[in-house]
Amino acid sequence: MFVMRRARIEDVPTLLKLARMVHFINLPADKDIISDKIQRSRESFGRAAAIAGGQSLAESKRTTESSEQRAESANGKRSGGGGAGRRSVETGIAAVTSRSDLFMFVLEDVDSGGVLGTSQIIAHMGGPGAPNVSLHLSTKEMFSTSLQFGTKHVVAKLVLDESGPTEIGGLILQPSYRGHKLKLGRFLSLVRFHAMGLYRPLFSDRVLAEMMAPITLDGRSTLWEYLGRRFINLSYTEADRFCQYSKEFMTSLLPREEIYLTLLPPEARAVVGQVGPETVPARRMLEKLGFAYLDKIDPFDGGPHLEAKTDEITIVRNTRTLELGEAASAAACDGHGIVSVIDADGEFRSLETAYCEERGVVRVMKQAMKAIRIEPGARVGLTPIAAPNGGSQKRTRGGASVNGKAPKGARGGKTKRSRKAATATDIGGAGGEA
């Protein structure tokens, strides 16, 4: 059995190994940055617990800020003061995410206790003074009356988005579990939308997924070599890495004027707005959930940015909270979905399981209750989804949506450059969102 939970500091060695398999901007192979992310995630899940407990967004922030201050004070005393208890990374991507809730999930094998994969949500990516950077593509037409023919050109223009959309990314699954019959990569992806539905006030009205463009076998970006590097004299890997500490170099050195992509060689133009073969399932799954390509690409590798309105994402829309009833038999369970629980300290646990629901009460089998450590009477999150074997989920019955909308039957049915993560109906690896 496999359970999704929040990341813990003891997961750092395993997460570091996973990070070394890829070059995701949201999962760098850096022990300190990963540790910092886990701490931020712990605080964010604490806010989620406050929301689940009925607090307003403002109240949840005050509650967790008080606990953070107590923790920092204790750290300062233990380290002899001097600010040693502060987080080490305060600029670049880390600075952006430190002002935002960040949720880091890990997939655990209940039998072995081993961590098999991870995924993330950045509640608000960027903001005033720290924009999210992309290139917007448009087409220009020119015509010569004397020659009686014209041309079309695709132009790219720098976009600095300070609206702070929610971003999904950092998804990776250990290679030996890719293609698993339980579609563990799908679970790593969908649990994020499940969390958005449960703790909706913490997230933006728009969700961004930065998909990975095709990368060469030696880890280079063709677009970066022919475009980005002409303005920023760093290798693709160096520039990607430097984003962890500062994004200023991008906004200062990339031109604000329109760039005619016609000037690039065919091999560079060919990757613009495209994804690699391993990322195609990820893109398809996100599009089924309501994501769309709006002609924005990554300025590093040219991968497409997909966007969706949060409340129109099917998984978010169909997520509810219900009371847990007594254990059910396998024969009684006629639905399949994600079931989760969060305690007062923000300890989050979820799993994909069979369930049955009646009159606002959901029941699961005894082993599922044991896996996520819940007892009858607890409030749990529920998102109906299709079973991994292709079976259909049961229609939802009764109860109000967590988003304040009437529940609907779930329909349908992920890290970037090499910096993006994969998510798909049968995804189990790297290669999809940032």
CATH number at residue 228: 3.40.630.30
CA distance 414 to 78: 39
Classified as helix, coil or strand, 267 is: helix
The reported pLDDT for the residue numbered 247 is: 83
Q: Is residue 434 part of a domain?
A: no
Is the domain of 233 the same as that of 272? yes
- E-assigned strand segments in 178-258: 206-210
Could you tell me the CATH number of the domain that includes residue 404? 2.40.40
The reported pLDDT for the residue numbered 99 is: 65
- Residue 198 has a CB neighbour count (10 Å cut-off) of 25
Is the domain of 285 the same as that of 328? no
The alpha carbons of the chain give a radius of gyration, in whole angstroms, of 22
Residue 2 token pair: 């496999």
Is the domain of 335 the same as that of 199? no
Q: Which residue has the tokens 């998102």?
A: 383
The reported pLDDT for the residue numbered 432 is: 61
Q: Is residue 152 part of a domain?
A: no
Is the domain of 371 the same as that of 244? no
The reported pLDDT for the residue numbered 399 is: 36
What's the average pLDDT block by block, 10 residues per block, for the chain (434 residues)?
A: 98 94 79 94 97 83 58 47 40 53 97 95 90 96 96 97 94 89 94 98 97 86 96 90 82 96 97 90 90 96 97 97 97 97 97 95 98 97 91 45 37 38 38 57
Is the domain of 211 the same as that of 265? yes
**Final residue of a domain: which of 312, 343, 378?**
312
CA distance 265 to 332: 61
The dihedrals phi and psi of 261, each to the nearest 5 degrees, come to: -70, -15
What secondary structure letter does DSSP report for 419?
A: T
The reported pLDDT for the residue numbered 398 is: 38
Is the domain of 340 the same as that of 201? no
Q: Is residue 64 part of a domain?
A: yes
The dihedrals phi and psi of 284, each to the nearest 5 degrees, come to: -60, -40
**Final residue of a domain: which of 277, 312, 347?**
312
The reported pLDDT for the residue numbered 394 is: 56
The answer to whether the beta carbons of residues 117 and 2 sit under 8 Å apart is no
Is the domain of 288 the same as that of 368? no
Q: Is residue 48 part of a domain?
A: yes
The reported pLDDT for the residue numbered 407 is: 38
CA distance 1 to 110: 6
The answer to whether the beta carbons of residues 121 and 170 sit under 8 Å apart is no
The answer to whether the beta carbons of residues 28 and 34 sit under 8 Å apart is yes
Classified as helix, coil or strand, 142 is: strand
**Final residue of a domain: which of 252, 285, 312?**
312
The answer to whether the beta carbons of residues 176 and 169 sit under 8 Å apart is no
The total number of structural domains in the chain stands at 2
The reported pLDDT for the residue numbered 64 is: 61
CA distance 150 to 261: 17
Full domain range(s) for residue 83: 2-129+161-312
How far is the CA of 427 from the CAs of 10, 36, 195, in angstroms? Answer: 26, 27, 19
CA distance 60 to 38: 19
